A and B are shown apart, each in its own frame.
Chain A
């Protein structure tokens, strides 16, 4: 069965530290990839997405992610986190030509001021 795995469940960083959140998926075909963020008490919102082309994609608020097809990975990065980045982050994968969207378990990021 298709699945998405986020390696880190809870990450604590100090402001200005660099961030990398891992995401791996199990599906052999073409996929679309997403990172969503859920700030405390708010809706999920899209950070960035990959459909095709340049495997390094940039999103909002200084986030970026790199798709490495050979590793089935789509890791999220940010060079310098801020206290306002405290949130839960979800990786999601959509197998091509389906309406399914499969989420990872989520990573809670806590940034200490």
Chain B
């Protein structure tokens, strides 16, 4: 079964601290993994995708097929990073539909 798991509902850190939002997935095949972010009162937007291997707003994520993980990391959190973060999976032949994790609320305190 396809599943995305984000074990932490809430992650609270101080400004300047490192951040790691965990994401594990279950999929029998080669999925495409994404991180989406939803700032307060805004729509969901793409943060990064594993195939592009780029860093957006200082965030990076590496796909670990052995551990079936796609954790999101940032070395120094900023207050403006406070938001809901969703890990999502798309199967290669499923027309782009996304399966989302439960989401992690990141709160960066001053």
A associates with B: no
Residue numbers of B with Cβ under 8 A of A are none
